């Protein structure tokens, strides 16, 4: 019997989402004879039954396009903002799934989406997920699409900052996205030859950063590029975050827990000010003029790189094959040149962080990059 499948994109957008939608959709229709329905604006589209028929005409010409033709949102099935309230809409989503006679639903998303997908799986739905994010922090997959393109954009930015930093004998601090993980700053820092790379996994000491800039000056290099992950923390900030996380874990009352959780959120949301403070601090400690560049959402925009197009197409078409074989409840993870279906229970709620002995960290150290530690 002909299978019906649904697709949605959820969480922050990134490059390669349309390539993945196309990969799933074309393989599902053309190879396996399925019909494919798109749900708009993330999980909200499932609540409102807001759909798009993803026929071949719609899937044509989207491979190279940035963003997502389906739209996206950060709405969660169990905490959906509805008319000023936050409501549990899981039952409504189950009804929509049944109304559309779906055999499987593909959720293309990042870390949050994996958790939401598991919730829907536990509500009885056949769910598969595809790993997308520029942050590269999804547990269980070698890599996620969006990452390669964002590394390219951040690297080009570092390249361009070099000539202006050099002309003015300045320090230029460049803040790079990545949420709580340092993958993007680390990869772009290596590729762009940043002199200092600061990532959340390696808390930094401002004195050590200053020292490494002064060493460059002594060696006749009058400028420095500092690549700072948005989640980077000084040793003192890391201690503050650990204390708050402990407080959250050991809180005696719901209020205490809520307060610790809010303080943590506020701290992480303040990254731009924190990076600005670091820039000013370095100007003081080194006596060298300093400037700050925040790359922000530029890193998520525009056309995907060739590598991301290939990855999204590989994972998308493999996803359609898995559905045809009756396999669900999994993340379609990239493993080497192949794919590996990973049970959602094994990956949801976990984060892939940069390990201190990761080869990228050691190779950066070997070419003289400072991590401020």
Q: How far apart are CA 137 and CA 146, in angstroms?
A: 11
Q: CB of residue 232 vs ligand F6P: minimum separation in angstroms?
A: 12
Question: How far are the Cα atoms of 125, 229, 358 from residue 202, in angstroms, in the given order?
Answer: 40, 11, 12
Identity of the residue, 34 or 134, whose beta carbon is nearer to ligand F6P in the bound complex: 134
Using CB under 6 A as the binding rule, whether residue 75 contacts ligand F6P is answered as no
Quick one: which segment of 129-137, 209-217, 233-241, 286-294 binds ligand F6P (CB under 6 A)? 129-137
Three-class HEC string of 163-225 = HHHHHHCCEEEEEECCCCCCHHHHHHHHHHCCCEEECCCCCECHHHHHHHHHHHHHCCCCCEE
- Closest CB to ligand F6P: residue number: 177
Options 58-66, 172-180, 201-209, 257-265: segment touching ligand F6P (CB under 6 A):
172-180
Shortest Cβ distance from residue 326 to ligand F6P (Å)?
32
When the beta carbons of 101 and 265 are compared against ligand F6P, the nearer one is 265
Using N-to-C axis directions, what is the helix angle for 147-168 and 306-324, rounded to 10°?
160
Catalytic residue among 75, 135, 137, 308: 135
134 touches ligand F6P by CB under 6 A: yes
CA angle 162, 167, 169 (to 5 degrees): 90
Quote the least distance from Cβ 117 to ligand F6P, whole Å: 16
Nearer to ligand F6P (CB atom), residue 133 or residue 288:
133
Active site residue 13: no
* Strand 224-229, strand 196-198: pairing: parallel
Site residues for ligand F6P, 228-257, by CB under 6 A, read 230
Sequence-distant (≥ 6) Cβ neighbours of residue 200 within 8 angstroms: 178, 180, 181, 182, 229, 231, 232, 233, 353
Near ligand F6P by CB under 6 A: residue from 16, 71, 178, 192: 178
Q: Dihedral (C-alpha) 224, 227, 233, 234: value to the nearest 10 degrees? A: -10
Separation of alpha carbons 220 and 150, rounded Å: 32
Closest separation between CB of residue 79 and ligand F6P, Å?
16
Kind and range of the H or E element at 307? helix 306-324
Q: How far is the CB of 269 from ligand F6P (least distance, A)?
A: 9
Tell me whether residue 27 or residue 315 sits nearer to ligand F6P (CB atom).
Answer: 315
Instruction: Tell the smallest beta-carbon distance from residue 130 to ligand F6P (Å).
Output: 15
Cβ closest to ligand F6P, residue 36 vs residue 177: 177
Give dist(CA 233, CA 88) in Å, integer: 35
User: Between 12 and 372, whose beta carbon lies closer to ligand F6P?
Assistant: 12
Residue 236 is given by DSSP the state: H
Residue 113's alpha-carbon distances to 10, 171, 172, 362, 365, in angstroms, are 6, 38, 35, 32, 34
Structure token pair of residue 264: 């943590």
**d(Cα 350, Cα 148) in Å, to the nearest integer?**
21
100 binds ligand F6P (CB under 6 A): no
Under the binding rule (CB under 6 A), the answer on residue 121 touching ligand F6P is no
Q: Which stretch binds ligand F6P (CB under 6 A): 130-138, 156-164, 326-334, 347-355?
A: 130-138
Q: How far is the CB of 85 from ligand F6P (least distance, A)?
A: 21
Stretch that binds ligand F6P, among 115-123, 128-136, 344-352, 362-370 (CB under 6 A): 128-136
Token readout for 37 is 């329905």
Diameter of the chain by CA atoms? 74
User: Which residue in 16, 38, 110, 304 binds ligand F6P (CB under 6 A)?
Assistant: 110
Contact flag: residue 12 with ligand F6P (CB under 6 A): yes
Single residue of 3, 216, 300, 314 touching ligand F6P by CB under 6 A? 300
179 binds ligand F6P (CB under 6 A): yes
- Site residues (CB under 6 A) for ligand F6P? 12, 110, 133-135, 177-179, 230, 300
Q: Which residues are catalytic?
A: 135
């Amino acid at each position: 019997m002909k299978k019906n499948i649904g697709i949605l994109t959820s969480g922050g957008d990134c490059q390669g989402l349309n390539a993945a939608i196309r990969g799933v959709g074309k393989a599902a229709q053309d190879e396996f004879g399925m019909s494919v329905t798109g749900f708009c604006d993330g999980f909200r589209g499932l609540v409102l039954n807001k759909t798009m028929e993803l026929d071949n005409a719609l899937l044509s010409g989207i491979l190279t396009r940035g963003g997502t033709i389906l739209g996206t949102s950060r709405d969660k099935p169990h905490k959906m903002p509805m008319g000023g309230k936050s409501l549990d809409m899981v039952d409504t989503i189950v009804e929509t799934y049944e109304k559309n006679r779906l055999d499987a639903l593909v959720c293309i998303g990042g870390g949050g989406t994996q958790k939401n997908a598991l919730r829907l799986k536990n509500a009885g739905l056949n769910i598969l997920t595809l790993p997308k994010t520029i942050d590269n922090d999804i547990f269980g997959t070698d890599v996620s699409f969006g990452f390669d393109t964002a590394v390219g954009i951040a690297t080009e930015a570092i390249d361009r900052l070099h000539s202006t930093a050099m002309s003015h004998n300045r320090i230029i601090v460049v803040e790079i996205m990545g949420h709580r993980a340092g993958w993007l700053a680390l990869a772009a820092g290596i590729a762009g030859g940043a002199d200092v790379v600061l990532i959340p996994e390696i808390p930094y000491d401002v004195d050590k950063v200053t020292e490494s800039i002064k060493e460059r000056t002594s060696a006749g290099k009058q400028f420095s590029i500092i690549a700072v992950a948005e989640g980077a923390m000084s040793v003192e900030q890391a201690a503050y975050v650990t204390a708050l996380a402990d407080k959250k874990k050991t809180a005696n009352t719901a209020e205490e827990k809520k307060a610790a959780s809010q303080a943590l959120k506020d701290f992480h949301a303040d990254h731009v000010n924190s990076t600005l403070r670091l820039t000013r601090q370095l100007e003081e400690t080194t006596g060298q003029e300093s400037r700050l560049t925040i790359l922000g959402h530029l890193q998520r925009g525009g056309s995907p790189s060739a590598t991301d197009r290939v990855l999204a197409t590989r994972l998308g078409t493999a996803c359609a094959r898995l559905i045809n074989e009756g396999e669900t409840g999994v993340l379609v993870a990239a493993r080497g040149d192949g794919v590996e279906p990973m049970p959602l229970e094994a990956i949801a709620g976990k984060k892939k962080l940069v390990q201190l002995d990761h080869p990228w960290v050691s190779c950066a150290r070997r070419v003289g990059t400072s991590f401020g530690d």
